[in-house]
């Protein structure tokens, strides 16, 4: 077996899981290098705790290098160019060569994608935005809060609904709920539509039972930050006092520049192996997690195609599979693990309770999702999942 180098681009859920699996499968003469621009890692699901002041960034942030197994090299650098023909990555710390690439660079958020949004809206999809929103919520005593989902796809489709339910609980605890109107305006037909009509109807009824207004199929055209008004493409408008938006997402520029994306803007991969079809004359390239698009064969409506939701649990499974595929290739084995489309998500509802939805997204004729009523046990499960990721117990 000739020694190899695998470059893992990005050290989030997908990259970290890939590093652990590959290191466990290949002896140390096979080099594994993980490159990420940030020395810090935080689980996305902690950001709702940050906005409500239940946690501070230091409580939920880990040193990324400490989450990696021994004998995985960490390079803290900005990846500036990816060349899949020559197997070289250009970074702020110089060039790095590899025989295999795993691209796990996540999804960037872009508030600038909709006129007026960046001036008008707060958010909680980055740690800085969550910290800023914490201060704003602390001082907010009455008025109209609008939670806006202007474009899909987004990371963690349940997250906006979780945020709305937790905001309801937060304002009730602070005896302010009666002075505050909460509403959700979304481009989606319903909450978490990929999970199916039962789950979608359930989440909507949970939202509405808490007096949170729900307005689906509202595509945002622009925001007028001076008059505090959202303008939708059907001509309707909505005024707000506090606008909390889920930013539009896009693949990172370095991926777009490498011409790895399809017309929808994401890296298409083989849904079972996570391999990218790069044609002849390139090194083997795998892509995992939020920067990919994984089409689903099953549908809930014949005319509405579905794709796998973007979530950390799927990014981690993808990373594991890509690593298994590479290890099999290095060893000359023909059989390796394949992604089964299964995963889960947590929706915290306030009062230290949560729902754990368990999904099987490759199911035919349509994806399936099971859930129980919210309870404290499922909340504890979420807390444990976050603790494991924050301490490197990931696969």
Ligand X SMILES: Cc1cc2nc3c(=O)[nH]c(=O)nc-3n(C[C@H](O)[C@H](O)[C@H](O)COP(=O)(O)OP(=O)(O)OC[C@H]3O[C@@H](n4cnc5c(N)ncnc54)[C@H](O)[C@@H]3O)c2cc1C
Chain contacts with ligand X (rule: CB under 6 A): 10-15, 35-38, 44-45, 47, 78-79, 104-106, 124-125, 155-156, 159, 252, 254, 289-290, 310-313, 315, 345-346
Residue number with the shortest CB distance to ligand X? 12
* Smallest separation (angstroms) from ligand X to the CB of 8: 10
* Smallest separation (angstroms) from ligand X to the CB of 220: 19
Residue with smaller CB distance to ligand X, 79 or 269 = 79
* Smallest separation (angstroms) from ligand X to the CB of 222: 24
Residue with smaller CB distance to ligand X, 137 or 232 = 137
Residue with smaller CB distance to ligand X, 35 or 232 = 35
* Smallest separation (angstroms) from ligand X to the CB of 29: 26
* Smallest separation (angstroms) from ligand X to the CB of 395: 13
* Smallest separation (angstroms) from ligand X to the CB of 120: 20
The full 3-state SS of the chain, as one line of letters, equals CCCCEEEEECCCHHHHHHHHHHHHHCCCCCEEEEEECCCEEECHHHHHHHHCCCCCHHHHEEEHHHHCCCCCEEEECCEEEEECCCCEEEECCEEEECCEEEECCCCEECHHHCCCHHHHCECCCCHHHHHHHHHHHHHCCCEEEEEEECCCCCECCCHHHHHHHHHHHHHHHCCCHHHEEEEEEECCCCCCHHHCHHHHHHHHHHHHHCCEEEECCCCEEEEECCCCEEEECCCCEEECCEEEECCCEECCHHHHHCCCCCCCCCEECCCCCCECCCCCCCCCEEECHHHEECEECCCCCCCCCEECCECHHHHHHHHHHHHHHHHHHHHCCCCCCCCCCEEEEEEEEECCEEEEEEEECCCCCCCEEECCCCEHHHHHHHHHHHHHHHCCCCC
């Amino acid at each position: 077996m000739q020694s190899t180098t695998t470059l893992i681009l990005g050290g989030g859920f997908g990259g970290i899981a890939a590093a652990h699996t590959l290191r466990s499968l290949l002896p140390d003469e096979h080099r594994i290098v993980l490159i990420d621009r940030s020395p810090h890692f935080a689980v996305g699901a902690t950001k709702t705790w940050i906005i409500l002041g239940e946690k501070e960034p230091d409580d939920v942030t880990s040193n990324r290098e400490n989450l990696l197994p021994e004998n995985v090299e960490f390079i803290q650098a900005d990846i500036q160019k990816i060349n899949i023909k020559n197997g070289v990555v250009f970074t702020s710390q110089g060039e790095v060569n590899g025989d295999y690439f795993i691209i796990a660079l996540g999804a960037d958020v872009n508030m600038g994608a909709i006129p007026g949004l960046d001036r008008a809206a707060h958010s909680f999809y980055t740690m800085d935005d969550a910290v800023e929103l914490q201060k704003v919520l602390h001082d907010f005593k009455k008025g109209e809060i609008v939670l806006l989902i202007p474009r899909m796809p987004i990371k963690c489709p349940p997250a906006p609904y979780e945020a709305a339910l937790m905001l309801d609980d937060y304002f009730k605890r602070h005896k302010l709920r009666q002075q505050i109107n909460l509403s959700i305006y979304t481009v989606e037909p319903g909450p978490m539509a990929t999970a199916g009509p039962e789950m979608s109807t359930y989440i909507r009824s949970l939202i509405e039972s808490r007096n949170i207004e729900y307005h689906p199929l509202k595509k945002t055209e622009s925001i007028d930050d001076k008059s505090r008004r959202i303008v939708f493409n059907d001509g309707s408008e909505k005024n707000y006092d506090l606008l909390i938006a889920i930013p539009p997402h896009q693949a990172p520029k370095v991926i777009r520049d490498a011409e790895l994306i399809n017309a929808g803007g994401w890296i298409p991969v083989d849904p079972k192996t996570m391999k990218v079809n790069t044609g002849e004359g390139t090194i083997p390239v795998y892509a995992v997690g939020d920067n990919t698009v994984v089409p689903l064969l099953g549908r809930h409506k014949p005319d509405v195609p579905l794709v796998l939701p973007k979530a950390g649990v799927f990014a981690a499974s993808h990373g594991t599979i890509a690593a298994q595929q590479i290890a099999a290739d290095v060893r000359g084995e023909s059989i390796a693990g394949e992604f089964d489309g299964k995963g889960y998500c947590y929706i915290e509802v306030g009062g230290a309770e949560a729902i754990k939805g368990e999904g099987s997204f490759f199911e035919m004729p349509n994806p399936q999702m099971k859930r129980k009523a919210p309870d404290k046990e499922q909340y504890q499960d979420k807390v444990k999942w976050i603790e494991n990721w924050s301490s490197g117990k990931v696969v």
